[in-house]
Amino acid sequence: MSGIALSRLAQERKAWRKDHPFGFVAVPTKNPDGTMNLMNWECAIPGKKGTPWEGGLFKLRMLFKDDYPSSPPKCKFEPPLFHPNVYPSGTVCLSILEEDKDWRPAITIKQLWCIRFPCAVNTTWSPHSINWT
């Protein structure tokens, strides 16, 4: 595991614990020996008010590669969420989570959660999330 990735994720965890939006959850998983696995986070996002998802709490896993923050985390709803910005596999379909598109190493977990994910739970359709067959 990369020291840069682990250092950055430890900083982000500390910042998240100090200040995060009500109802949002982001917690690193535990390894079999009980230590924290900063490369794998269990998360939950509340459904946005005024949408069909209002009142729900949707579980999501964030997996970080060794080259984080150069590459974005993989974000996947478990179980898959029926939503226009989510592939049938549960993987979130946002350009900000694509390394060759809008991802930037300066983007933090909190920014993803507070800005991008709530925007994802709306009625904007992605052509990638539609089964065209």
Q: Model confidence over 9-58: pLDDT tens digits?
A: 999 999 999 998 888 899 999 999 999 999 999 999 888 788 887 888 88
Q: Is-catalytic flag, 93?
A: yes
pLDDT for 110: 85
Reply yes or no on whether the pLDDT at 124 is more than 70: no
Q: Which CATH superfamily is domain 3-122 in?
A: Ubiquitin Conjugating Enzyme (3.10.110.10)
pLDDT for 1: 60
Reply yes or no on whether the pLDDT at 4 is more than 90: yes
Q: Of 93, 96, 90, 49, whose CA–CA distance to 69 is shortest? A: 96
pLDDT for 91: 92
Q: Where are the domains of the chain?
A: 3-122
**Mean of pLDDT values over 98-114:** 87
Q: Which residue has the higher pLDDT, 121 or 27?
A: 27
Q: What is the pLDDT of residues 63-92, one digit of tens each?
A: 999 999 999 999 999 999 888 888 999 998
Long-range contacts of 41-47 (CB under 8 A, 24+ apart): 41/73, 41/109, 43/113, 45/113, 45/117, 45/118, 45/121, 47/121
* Set 43, 93, 114, 119: catalytic member: 93
